[in-house]
A = this chain, B = another copy of it.
């Protein structure tokens, strides 16, 4: 229920994280406290508290571990989910929107996270948020020029996540197209059959 608040604050955090001014630290801490409150209230309001707890271990982890915190932003996908449900789009369109939304968000968060862990490392080739975003695109599409690549352990972990996201994206694009082509072929066959009967 506190989702819309979380959404707005998290979004502003994203923007601020991009600029990395002094204010940022304060805001991030404030958001973290909000997350903790959100988690505690949700747990309190849950009908079966133990069940809610076991099902939200991931949420607990994102609160406790600083490195996983960017993953919290993936909850923005719920907004996408709501938007999708209200629209009258067909199944394939919904899947495509969802996939591109998720991959786009993961790329943004991944680029942000990689930039923050690689910054200041000796021998790092990712020297700005723009470069990090370029690297995210190169990785997700599995092109992998290799002109920039992460050198830290955390950076490589994020890279692996983006690579698998890329494979999933290729899979979804292909599968959606396959489903569409099969329909087209069937439609054409049906049309010709009907025309032949006349």
For A169, give the chain B residue with the smallest CB separation.
B167
Given A170-B171, A173-B167, A175-B174: A181 in contact with B145 (beta carbons within 8 A)? no
The one of B91, B143, B163, B188 in contact with A181, judged by C-beta atoms closer than 8 angstroms, is B91
For A148, give the chain B residue with the smallest CB separation.
B145
Given A143-B163, A160-B137: A173 in contact with B168 (beta carbons within 8 A)? yes
Q: When chains A and B are docked, how far (Å) is the Cα of A137 from the Cα of B164?
A: 9
The one of B139, B168, B176, B183 in contact with A143, judged by C-beta atoms closer than 8 angstroms, is B139
B167 touches A170 (CB 8 A): yes
Q: When chains A and B are docked, how far (Å) is the Cα of A153 from the Cα of B178?
A: 34
* Number of copies of this chain that the complex holds: 4
Interface residue? A12 (CB, 8 A): no
Given A143-B142, A153-B130: A171 in contact with B173 (beta carbons within 8 A)? yes
Q: When chains A and B are docked, how far (Å) is the Cα of A182 from the Cα of B185?
A: 11
Residues of B within 8 A of A142 (CB): 141-143
A-side interface size class:
35 or more
User: Per-position contact with B for A156-168: 1 when CB-CB < 8 Å, else 0?
Assistant: 1001100110111
Interface residue? A48 (CB, 8 A): no
A and B contact pairs by CB, cutoff 8 A, 28 listed: A91-B181, A91-B184, A91-B185, A95-B181, A95-B184, A137-B160, A138-B159, A138-B163, A142-B143, A143-B144, A144-B145, A145-B149, A146-B146, A167-B169, A168-B173, A170-B171, A170-B173, A171-B176, A171-B178, A174-B174, A174-B175, A175-B177, A176-B181, A178-B178, A178-B179, A178-B181, A179-B181, A179-B182
Binding site for B on A (CB under 8 A): 90-92, 95, 130, 134, 137-139, 141-147, 149, 153, 156, 159-160, 163-164, 166-185, 188
